[in-house]
A = this chain, B = another copy of it.
């Protein structure tokens, strides 16, 4: 036998413009309160208000905090209040406040920690960590933290394009990225030519690997990959200049090479590239966890729209994210 539900509890406001301490905080869902054994509809339904009971104790309405006057009968606690759809369902939706995966309004420290823990778990489990990186990693100044991740064993496979590798090498050779000095933030003299000269230098030497071997390329993401024998796939795109010798210009051949490298991947970190992120998302099985970081919410939205639902989307800036991640991983 169901227990007869209690009436809602009301206490008089003790201060103008304030609720009593344990006030019931309203939602925008249809709500009823139990008064004298009857379920009464709450009027003026509005979220983030309290509920006031009229002096006769027969009617209830939402009231904003500022309109409360001393002596008003305010509902406190959750007893004798019900919302439609059922409270649990409402709660779930309320608990999803701010829970959309692509909001930029999320605590960033905790997100970095979560990604770091997932990477540590993958490493410990002997699974490969795949990094998918776009050129904004370099433009924003993220080369240094990525090299720390590589040296620390947190990148076991790299998927990228001509642009990431070119600007990484441009930075190693000239200190600029797309001609912009990464020290001074200003365009360097003739800087817009640097990326093309960087590509040309690699092509003249025959490969990036040769450039490392000959001591021409002495730092950066590509340098570390070669030094630490991290396999990489540089997939071509129609906006490529050059391209670098290692770039696979046939996109089907590039896909094939990516497919070949994917088995064993346990975590995938995508940073600042819509093209390569969606391409990799297309290839990954659904149980591989993915962290996708982009300053543009639409990259994450599109990735998830296309079925990569295992993705944790993080709307944030490439360099600060990577720097915090490297720090969190202690590399």
Q: Report whether A28 and B286 are in contact in the complex, using a CB–CB cutoff of 8 Å.
A: yes
Does A237 touch B at the CB level, under 8 Å? yes
Are A285 and B46 CB-contacts (below 8 A) given A28-B308, A106-B185, A320-B320? yes
Q: Report whether B275 and A251 are in contact in the complex, using a CB–CB cutoff of 8 Å.
A: no
Does A241 touch B at the CB level, under 8 Å? yes
**Copies, count:** 4
Q: Report whether B279 and A193 are in contact in the complex, using a CB–CB cutoff of 8 Å.
A: no
Q: Report whether A320 and B309 are in contact in the complex, using a CB–CB cutoff of 8 Å.
A: no
A200 / chain B contacts, CB cutoff of 8 Å: 18-19, 21, 23, 65
The residue of chain B having its C-beta at the shortest distance from the C-beta of A184 within the complex is: B110
**Per-residue contact bits, chain A 210-247, to B (CB 8 Å; 1 contact, 0 not):** 00000000000000000000000001111111110000
How far, in Å, is A67 (CB) from chain B's closest CB? 8
Contact among B111, B239, B240 with A185 in the assembled complex (CB-CB below 8 Å): B111
Q: Report whether A182 and B109 are in contact in the complex, using a CB–CB cutoff of 8 Å.
A: yes
Q: Report whether A107 and B255 are in contact in the complex, using a CB–CB cutoff of 8 Å.
A: no
Report the bound CA distance from A309 to B47 in whole Å: 12
Chain B CB within 10 Å — which of A135, A139, A253, A321 has the most?
A139
A276 / chain B contacts, CB cutoff of 8 Å: 238
Does A324 touch B at the CB level, under 8 Å? yes
8 closest A-B pairs by beta carbon, nearest first, are A320-B320, A110-B185, A28-B286, A45-B285, A25-B193, A239-B279, A105-B139, A238-B279
